[in-house]
Structure formats: structure tokens, C-alpha cells
Amino acid sequence: MRALALHEDVLLLESGIWHTAAVAIRSGDEAFLIDSPILPEELETLPSLFEQAGFPIVGLVATHADWDHLLGGQAFPDAPLAVAQTTAARLTAEPGAAARELRQFDEQWYVKRARPLSMPAAEALPVPGLLEIGEQELELHPTEGHTADGMAIFARWCGVLVLGDYISPVEIPMISPGGSISAYKATLGRLRELVAQATSIVPGHGGLLDPIRADALVNEDLAYLNALEADGASATLPLARNTPEQRRIHAENVERSQS
């Protein structure tokens, strides 16, 4: 796991799996952990890492309800979880889904975990909206299209924008169950405006972006989604992301966008 300070109040952690991002944001004596690393060893180091860095984690936030973003409770079992209303609705509608998918991942990769995933009842935040932290506020912006739920989180005072699963340099736009091409394109349009106001942009997978790179990725992603809509299976993938795994995701996108 790599750790990087984006600002005196912001730490970015990058998991060894899927370049999954987790971000700790602090104001005064309160810090939130947004999303999570994935491997047990990574999660186990978080409490001491944040204690040494002076980030007292008082709450967990998740950008959306996909299991790989929900593991913060394994490191901070007593911290409450806050999510967008859309995400709270999805967690309620699919009880046990995240725990089941984590178990499948662990079985596939022979990962041993001290405890299974238990999801506390999440606080549902109105989005768009604001979430108070210390003396500051986090801006919450809706993101839909990858899934039916989600939010991006903008810490405007430090210029850090946390996207969830959008604008990834390693993953093409993924239309999961509940997502749609049209909602995805609308989200990219909104995120583009936020990207232009940010200095550090953190996608759910793939590491830190600057605004110029993020804007270029928005163009690539829109071009891909337009081609997916028009040409289906024969759509061209973004050149740097044209890998066997991304072609597998593309095939799933084709199936989902036709149903």
C-alpha cells in the first residue's frame, strides 16, 4: 500500500489491489476515512498509521455501495458510516451483497481475514449536500451511471476531489447493474466542472490525477461511451486501457447496455 500526502490535511492510500484509493481528510481534531484499501494487512496498519500521522478517524464515508469501497469498518469497527441516500437505499435493498462478494474475492485469491464484513446501518446523507468536518465542510455531488448510487466528495479548502469509480486511468467506464450510459455521461459532465476547480483528483482506481489529465480522461470516457451507444461490441477502447481485462469489462458493458 502506498501513502501520499496531498495536503497537510489529506492522505491518499493506494491499495495493492486494483490501485484502489482510500482518502483520509482532517479538519481540526476530526478526520474521516473515505473508501478503503482491500488487503487485510493494509487494513490492519490503518489505525497506527493514522495515529502517527495525527488523523483521529471519527467516521467512515463510502463513495458508493460496491464492496471494494466498504472495508473501512474492518479497521475502525466503532466508527459510524455515512453514505449518499442512494447508496443507503442500495445497501438496504441488497443486504449481505457486499459481504458475499468480499467472501468470493477472498476465496478466489486465498485471502485470510480475521473477521467477515459486517455493515453497520449507514447514515444516509442528502446529495447534493454538505457534510461537516471540524471547522470545514465537504461538498457532496451525485454520481450515477457506473451503478445506481454514489457521490463524489470535494474538499474545496484543500482542492481535493474524490470521485469514486469515475475517470480512472486504468479502468474503462464500467456499466454495472443499476448503471446506464446516459446517467454515466451526465455524471461526467458534472464532474468535469468540479475537476476544473480542483488541484488533486482521486479516482476510485488508478492513483492521483491533475486537472489536465483528468479532463483528458473525461474526453476519452465520453468518446468510449458514445461509441458503446452507437457501435456496441465494435466500439474502440481508449488506447492506454485496451487490455484483456478491459475488453472483458467492455463485453459486459455491451450486454448491459442492450438489455
- Binding region for Zn ion (CB under 5 A): 66, 165
Contact, 25 vs 34, CB < 8 A? yes
Residue corresponding to grid cell 466508527: 79
Nearer to Zn ion, 203 or 211 (CB): 203
Nearer to Zn ion, 31 or 188 (CB): 188
Nearer to Zn ion, 156 or 190 (CB): 190
Sign of the C-alpha dihedral computed for residues 209, 211, 212 and 214 taken in this order = positive
Smallest gap from residue 140 Cβ to Zn ion (A): 17
Residue corresponding to grid cell 453497520: 120
Contact, 43 vs 36, CB < 8 A? yes
Smallest gap from residue 37 Cβ to Zn ion (A): 15
Nearer to Zn ion, 143 or 200 (CB): 143
Rounded to whole angstroms, the Cα distance separating 238 from 46 reads 35
Nearer to Zn ion, 9 or 66 (CB): 66
Nearer to Zn ion, 139 or 165 (CB): 165
Rounded to whole angstroms, the Cα distance separating 148 from 144 reads 5
Question: Count of CB atoms within 10 A of residue 95's CB?
Answer: 10
Rounded to whole angstroms, the Cα distance separating 214 from 237 reads 17
Smallest gap from residue 184 Cβ to Zn ion (A): 12
- 228-194-202-70 Cα dihedral, nearest 10 degrees: -80
Smallest gap from residue 68 Cβ to Zn ion (A): 7
Smallest gap from residue 218 Cβ to Zn ion (A): 18
Smallest gap from residue 146 Cβ to Zn ion (A): 6
- 3 state DSSP class of 230: helix
- Burial class of residue 5 in the structure, from the number of CB atoms within 10 Å of its CB (0-12 exposed, 13-18 middle, 19+ buried): exposed
